[in-house]
Amino acid sequence: MSRRRAGSTRCCGLDGEEVVVVLSESSSRDVLVETSRLAAQMLGGKVLDVVVPTPSNPHPVAIRSTGASVALQRNVAAIAALKAADLVIDLTVEGILHAPELPEVLDAGTRVLMVSNEHPEHFERYRWDPDLPRRVALGVEWMSEAAELTVTSAAGTDLRIGLAGAFVAGSSGVTDGPGSIAHWPGGLVAAYPASGTVEGTLVLAPGDLNLTFKRYVETPVTLTIRDDHVVDVGGDGVDALLFDSYLSAFPEPAARAASHVGWGMNTGARWDYFELYDKAALNGTEARAYAGNFLYSTGANEHAERFTAGHFDLPLRACTLSLDGRPIVVEGQLVPELSG
């Protein structure tokens, strides 16, 4: 949560006595690395750069937008530096949100702020919303107490997600004490469902987003989901063809399984920004966080003991979400308690 010192808000609690590691890789966006370093220094942090080489891609397709950077490569020296820091500003291309090294770093009490690999203008457009942490916490509370999340839409989505045994989390965009992680921009409530809890139909309609391809859906895609896994990809357009083709690059069943589900809470984020940037300038975190989206993701889910490099993040518009029958999002609009 935000901490106020000397009349100013330092949202991640950084003070002049703390060690800050700026973590990047050889292909990180230079302007974000430099800006983060300067910002930490201006706030009095004792700053150290840790730069690791970007490893080669062993897969037959490009890996994008996973939140599971492999750049650390279990480098013991780099991990030791992260564990010794009070705050890590993560500027790896994919981010270490789902990286295998992260639990060890958090267990050491380090706070981690993952800054999404976006065009710098993104961060100029987001204004810090001091009420966002409260609303995210409320959404997490509601999800944690519920037994089932249902999702429907006029396009044909009819999905049921059992929440028993799910890991529920939220991000407001700022760290919250030792051993916490946040991604910026924030504004997301998500659950990692337990194995065998997701069933139904998910329909990607025109205007929905495929963040792996950095592409708006233009033709409907129907995903049939049984026992957590996409068992059929339907649709006559190129969107369905691309989706199925990319999945086929990963032989392991986990690539077709449910990773995480949730909804966006950030009223300052927008779904329509993709058209304004080149694909290389996008990572899609704004699309994950914009208020009222339903986010369905396929791929790795460590809480269901499933691991794969294949990953889709799919923010859907105009869905209705309910927790045990209680509306959370109605046709793409947050209920008033969550919208502020």
Question: Which pLDDT tens digit goes with each residue over 160-203?
Answer: 999 999 999 998 988 888 999 988 888 999 999 999 999 999 99
pLDDT score of 10? 61
Question: Which pLDDT tens digit goes with each residue over 288-306?
Answer: 999 999 999 999 898 888 8
Q: Which residues of the chain have pLDDT under 50?
A: 1-9
Q: Phi, psi at residue 114, to the nearest 5°?
A: -90, 110
Helix, strand, coil distribution of the chain in percent, nearest 5 = 25, 35, 45
What sign does the dihedral 176-182-185-190 (CA atoms) show? negative
**Cβ 258 vs Cβ 225: under 8 Å:** yes
pLDDT score of 14? 83
Q: Which CATH architecture has domain 3-115?
A: 3-Layer(aba) Sandwich (3.40)
Token pair for 274: 């993709």
Token pair for 279: 């694909």
Does residue 48 sit in helix, strand or coil?
strand
Dihedral over alpha carbons 179, 173, 301, 23 (to 10 degrees): -60
- Measure the CA–CA gap between 114 and 211, rounded to whole angstroms: 18
Exposure letters 154-183 (e unless 16+ CB within 10 A, then b): ebebebebbbeebbbbbbbbbbbeeebbbb
At a CB cut-off of 8 Å and minimum separation 6, what does 24 contact? Answer: 33, 49, 50, 51, 52, 91, 92
**Cβ 234 vs Cβ 222: under 8 Å:** yes
| Domain boundaries defined on the chain | 3-115, 132-339
pLDDT score of 4? 29
Strand 221-226 versus strand 188-192 pairing type: unpaired
Closest to 297 in 3D by CA, of 188, 218, 219, 164: 188
- Measure the CA–CA gap between 64 and 116, rounded to whole angstroms: 12
- In sequence order, the β-bridge partners of residue 18 are none
Closest to 224 in 3D by CA, of 157, 318, 139, 164: 157
Closest to 204 in 3D by CA, of 275, 258, 155, 263: 155
Instruction: Tell me whether residue 189 is exposed, middle or buried, using C-beta atoms within 10 angstroms of its C-beta: 0 to 12, 13 to 18, 19 or more.
Output: buried
